[in-house]
Amino acid sequence: MSDADPPYLRIAGELRERIATGRLRPGDRVPSTRAIMRDWGVALATATKALAVLGNEGLVDAVPRVGTVVAARRLHQQTPQRAARRPARPGARPGGALTVDRIVRCAVETADRDGIAALSMRGIAGRLEVPTMSLYRHVRSKDELVLLMIDATFGEEPYPAVAPTGWRETLAASARLQWASYRRHPWLAQVISLTRPQPLVNLFRIAEWNLTGLVPLGLGQQDLLDIHMTVCIFVRGVAIGLAPELEATEDTGLTGDEWADVDQPLIELLTNGPFPTFREVSGMGNYDLDLDRLFEFGLQRVLDGMEEMVSNR
């Protein structure tokens, strides 16, 4: 690797060498784009292109909710220098022709790995190894790209061909499918608008499913839409905590429980702050702040309240 090479190739070369020498082993996380930006002092597009080079060589894989990890297939006969200098076929583009689907898949992978704040048209172009302006022949803007990402991710989980029996079971199934989408893509809750619904087929599919289960109750429009919106808002409300927790875990290397055990300002506030009741309750044992458990607990309480409302109509 020469000093004359572009920065992204030099970074890719250093990471490739770590993989080749075993310092990074299969399954190990490689530095994220944010870590590369910090440690090498480069821009987001440069960091993204460096990881894209390794991805195109099959050395790393982007794993949702984990990050970029060393792939099971390691460098074999190639030295880092030979791998870096491997020539591409004239006119070849990694991954085939540029399409809307390919752009959206790349954008979703980027947001899954680095968060929605890291998403940019330049960064996507870097990962796809195409000129930035070529993206605009397929997607008019970043805002449009985000809409396509929302529609694609909510379309991953098919709704059953036959709905469950009963409105409560129907809403519960809908809520769990939404939660599964948010779980796979923690950034998703940050870009959904429920007060100004985005005109997307797979979002309106949720409304169609919910309302089809509710209409037989004979409720008025206000009640029907209030129930539908309350369920969607509840699921998104719990899911909004997914992305910050993942980012905090990545930045600190500590889980939420581990962080709470060592964060001195928090410990000081809980120990000496003017909150005797909270201190008494927290001292009863270790509280399990698990979002999956909290989602199920809250969902049942929301449905309990709706069931009481429906029975009194």
Question: What is the domain count for the chain?
Answer: 2
Range of the domain at 243: 157-313
Whether residue 166 lies inside any domain: the answer is: yes
Residues 136-149 have a mean pLDDT of: 95
Q: Is the pLDDT of residue 1 over 60?
A: no
Whether residue 149 lies inside any domain: the answer is: no
Say if residue 205 is in the same domain as residue 306.
yes
CATH number of the domain residue 17 falls in: 1.10.10.10
Say if residue 161 is in the same domain as residue 274.
yes
Say if residue 178 is in the same domain as residue 76.
no
| Range with the poorest average pLDDT among 161-170, 260-269, 291-300 | 260-269
Whether residue 116 lies inside any domain: the answer is: no
Say if residue 52 is in the same domain as residue 185.
no
Cβ within 8 Å of residue 136, ≥6 positions away: 121
Q: Is the pLDDT of residue 112 over 50?
A: yes
Integer angstrom CA distances of residue 47 from 37, 51, 53, 209, 261: 6, 7, 10, 42, 33
Whether residue 252 lies inside any domain: the answer is: yes
CB-count exposure of residue 88 (10 Å: 0-12, 13-18, 19+): exposed
Say if residue 163 is in the same domain as residue 272.
yes
Q: What percent of the chain has pLDDT over 90?
A: 44
Residues 29-40 have a mean pLDDT of: 85
CATH number of the domain residue 250 falls in: 1.10.357.10
Whether residue 111 lies inside any domain: the answer is: no
Whether residue 228 lies inside any domain: the answer is: yes
Whether residue 289 lies inside any domain: the answer is: yes
Q: Is the pLDDT of residue 253 over 70?
A: no
Say if residue 166 is in the same domain as residue 311.
yes
Say if residue 84 is in the same domain as residue 164.
no
Say if residue 90 is in the same domain as residue 192.
no
Residues 70-91 have a mean pLDDT of: 45
Of residues 201 and 89, more confidence is placed in 201
Say if residue 168 is in the same domain as residue 313.
yes
Say if residue 239 is in the same domain as residue 312.
yes
Question: Which residue, of 54, 73, 98, is where some domain finishes?
Answer: 98
Query: What pLDDT, on a 0 to 100 scale, did the predictor assign at position 93?
Result: 45
Residues 140-156 have a mean pLDDT of: 94
Question: Which residue, of 82, 98, 114, is where some domain finishes?
Answer: 98
Kindly report the pTM of this predicted structure.
0.67
Of 160, 150, 172, 161, the C-alpha closest to 231 is 172
Whether residue 142 lies inside any domain: the answer is: no
| Range with the poorest average pLDDT among 109-113, 260-264, 307-311 | 260-264
List own/partner pairs for 26-31 with CB under 8 A and 24 or more apart. 26/69, 26/70, 26/71, 26/72, 26/74, 27/69, 27/70, 27/72, 28/69, 28/70, 29/66, 29/67, 29/68, 29/69, 30/54, 30/60, 30/67, 30/68, 30/69, 30/70
